Amino acid sequence: MDHLTDLFKFDTTTWILGGTLGVAFFMYDYWKKTAFQRNGVPGPIPLPLLGNALTFRRGFTSTITDLCEKYGKAFGVTFLSSKWLVVRDLELIQQIMITQFSSFPNHGPDNPFFQDNMMKSSVVVLSDMKWKDARNSMTPAFSGSKLKQMTPIMTDCCDNLLAKIEELQNQSDFIQCKELFGAFTIDVVAATFFGLQLNSQQNPKDPFVQYAREALAVNVFSFRYIAGSAFPLVGRFFDVIDYGLFPRHIKKFFTDLTNQVIDSREKRKVRRREEDGNHGDDNHHHKKIQFTNADITANTFTFFMAGYETTTSTLGFISYLLATNPDQQDKLIEEVDQHFPNGEPLTYETVNKMEYLEGVIKETLRLYPASSLTDRYCEESTVIGGVTVPAQTVFIIPIYTIHHDPEIWEDPESFKPERFNKENNHKIHPMAWLPFGGGPRICLGMRLAMMEMKFGVVRILQKYRFETCPETEIPPVLNISTGLISHQMVSNFELFRENE
C-alpha cells in the first residue's frame, strides 16, 4: 500500500503541469464539441466529454426522429468525439449525395465497417479514388446479365425455402419469419459469393451457417467501438494490436474459406484455358484493379454482412404487410397468376415486369427501411445550403424519418404500393425514397436484393398466402437501437389453392 502511495508522490510543479494539461485537454475537447453552436447550427447542447451521447440511450433511429421534430431540417449533434450533422432537407441531401458528390464521396469513420482491420479494403471503407476503382471493378458482378445467370441459384434456394415452409407448417401453426428468411438469405449469399450449395434450412449445424450467425450477432456498440469513438488514439492502438469488431476465429474461418474458393476457381480457369487452347488474359480489354486474397475476403464478408440482415428483415416486413393488408395481397396474387399461370417456373425478365410486385417491395422498404440511416463524410470545413459545416463532420441522412415525414409522403403510415406505379412514380422527389441510399455510392447489392426478394415472394405466393395469427404483433414493435431496423416477425402461411 505504501508503495502505491509512493507512486503518486509528485512535486508541486508536476501536479501543476499535469493539472494544466488536463484542463487544457478538457477545454480543447469541449471547444471541438461546441463547433456547431459556434457556427450557429441548431441542436442540443453537448456535455463535456460525452457530447450528446446520453440522448441516444433509447436507440438511434427513434432519437434521431425525435430530434428532427425538435430542431428542423438540419441540426448538429455530437456523439463522443464525433460530430454529426443530421440533414433531412431533400434539396440539401441531393447536393450532398449527387450534385456535390465529389466533395463528399466517403462514409464517416463511425461506420461499423471501419472498426476492424480485416475490413480495411472493403468497398464501404475505401475512400476517394481507391473506392472508385474498386467499385468500378465490382459493379459488373451485379449487372443485369450476371443476375440473369443467377436464376438457377435463386430457383434452388426458393425450392429449399418452400420445402422448409411445408415442413414448418406440419409442425406448428405459425412461422417465425426471421429464421425462415434468414436461412434463405444465407443460402443465396453462400451460393453467390462462396460457391456453396448449403441448404441451411435443413443443415443449421453446417459450419458456414454457425460462423455466419456468430458474425451477425456481433454487437456494433462493443467496448471497441465506444472506446475507439471516444478516443480516436485508442482506436488506432486497437488497430495496431488487431483488436477489431469481429472475433479472430470468425475472421479466420471466412479468410480460409475465401482462399479455398479462389484456389478452386483459379484451377478451374486454368483447366478451361488449357481445354480451349487459350493462354491469354480473359480481361485484357478492361483496366481492372488486381484484388489480393485479403481484398476479396474483406469484400465477400462485406456483401454478406451488408446483405443478410437487410434482405431478411425486408422479407419479414413484406409478409407482415401482405398479411395485414389482404386486398393488396389479393392484387399481388392476381399479378403472380397472370405472369406465371399454373405455377410456371420464374424467369428474371418476367419477374422484373411485375409492376405491382415492385410497388409492394418499394412500399415495404419505405415503411420499414432496413438501414434507417446512412452517412457521408465532410473532411474540410464547408458551407452547404447556407449552413457552415465544421471540418470532419459526418452528414447523417435519416432515411426512416424522411420515409415517414407527412410533408413528403401523403398519409405516410398507410401501405399503398400504388404510390410507385407508372402514374404516380414521377411525383416522387428523387431523394424522398432512399432505402438503398443514393448517388454514385448507392447500395452495390440493390439489384441482387430486389431479385432475391422478388423471387422469394412470387414463389411463396404461387402456393401460399400470408395470414396473421395470434402471435403476430400488430403493429410490430421495432428493434431500432442501431442504424438497422428489424423484428422477429411472426406470420402464418395459409395453404393456397389446395386443389391445384
Question: CB of 433: closest distance to ligand HEM in angstroms?
Answer: 11
Residues 57, 366 contacting (CB under 8 angstroms): no
Q: What Å distances lie between residue 128 and 109, 135, 200, 443, 474, CA to CA?
A: 14, 11, 38, 17, 44
Question: CB of 454: closest distance to ligand HEM in angstroms?
Answer: 11
Rank residues 51 and 438 by Cβ distance to ligand HEM and give the closer one.
Answer: 438
Q: What share of the chain is helix, strand, coil (3-state, %, to 5)?
A: 55, 10, 35
3-state secondary structure at position 112: helix
Q: How far is Cα 460 from Cα 450, in angstroms, rounded to an integer?
A: 15
177 annotated ligand binder: no
Q: Hey, CA dihedral for 357, 358, 362, 365, is it positive or negative?
A: positive
Rank residues 77 and 396 by Cβ distance to ligand HEM and give the closer one.
Answer: 396
Question: CB of 317: closest distance to ligand HEM in angstroms?
Answer: 10
Question: CB of 400: closest distance to ligand HEM in angstroms?
Answer: 11
Residue ranges of alpha helices (H) inside 84-126 are 90-94
Rank residues 53 and 97 by Cβ distance to ligand HEM and give the closer one.
Answer: 97
Q: How far is Cα 448 from Cα 24, in angstroms, rounded to an integer?
A: 52
Rank residues 84 and 243 by Cβ distance to ligand HEM and give the closer one.
Answer: 84
Question: CB of 291: closest distance to ligand HEM in angstroms?
Answer: 14
Task: Give the CA dihedral 382, 388, 391, 392, nearest 10 degrees.
Answer: -100
Rank residues 53 and 158 by Cβ distance to ligand HEM and give the closer one.
Answer: 158
**Residue 197: Cβ-neighbour burial (10 angstroms; 0-12, 13-18, 19+):** exposed
- What are the cell numbers at 296? 476479396
Question: CB of 378: closest distance to ligand HEM in angstroms?
Answer: 14
Rank residues 302 and 329 by Cβ distance to ligand HEM and give the closer one.
Answer: 302
Question: CB of 117: closest distance to ligand HEM in angstroms?
Answer: 18
Rank residues 102 and 499 by Cβ distance to ligand HEM and give the closer one.
Answer: 102
Q: How far is Cα 180 from Cα 182, in angstroms, rounded to an integer?
A: 5
| Helices 446-461, 151-171: crossing angle, 10 deg rounding | 50
- Those residues with Cβ within 8 angstroms of residue 94's Cβ, 6 or more apart along the chain or in another chain: 430, 431
Query: 475: cis peptide before it, omega within 30°?
Result: yes
Rank residues 311 and 324 by Cβ distance to ligand HEM and give the closer one.
Answer: 311
* Strand 74-79, strand 82-87: pairing: antiparallel
Question: CB of 128: closest distance to ligand HEM in angstroms?
Answer: 12
Rank residues 108 and 228 by Cβ distance to ligand HEM and give the closer one.
Answer: 108
Q: What Å distances lie between residue 195 and 153, 187, 272, 340, CA to CA?
A: 10, 10, 18, 29
Residues 228, 240 contacting (CB under 8 angstroms): no
Q: How far is Cα 335 from Cα 421, in angstroms, rounded to an integer?
A: 14
Residues 125, 107 contacting (CB under 8 angstroms): yes
Q: How far is Cα 29 from Cα 92, in angstroms, rounded to an integer?
A: 29
Question: CB of 38: closest distance to ligand HEM in angstroms?
Answer: 28
Binding-site ranges for ligand HEM (CB under 6 A): 123-124, 135, 302-303, 306-307, 310-311, 314, 370-371, 374, 435-438, 441-445, 448-449
Question: CB of 445: closest distance to ligand HEM in angstroms?
Answer: 2
DSSP tag of 217 = T
Buried b (16+ CB within 10 A) or exposed e, 24-46: eeeeeeeeebbbbeebebebbeb
Nearest to 38 by CA among 414, 402, 387: 387
Rank residues 235 and 307 by Cβ distance to ligand HEM and give the closer one.
Answer: 307
Nearest to 74 by CA among 393, 431, 397, 375: 397
Rank residues 53 and 177 by Cβ distance to ligand HEM and give the closer one.
Answer: 177
Count of other CB atoms within 10 angstroms of residue 370: 24
- Give the largest Cα separation in the chain, rounded: 92
Question: CB of 64: closest distance to ligand HEM in angstroms?
Answer: 15
> Which residues belong to the annotated binding site for heme?
443
> Which residues belong to the annotated binding site?
443
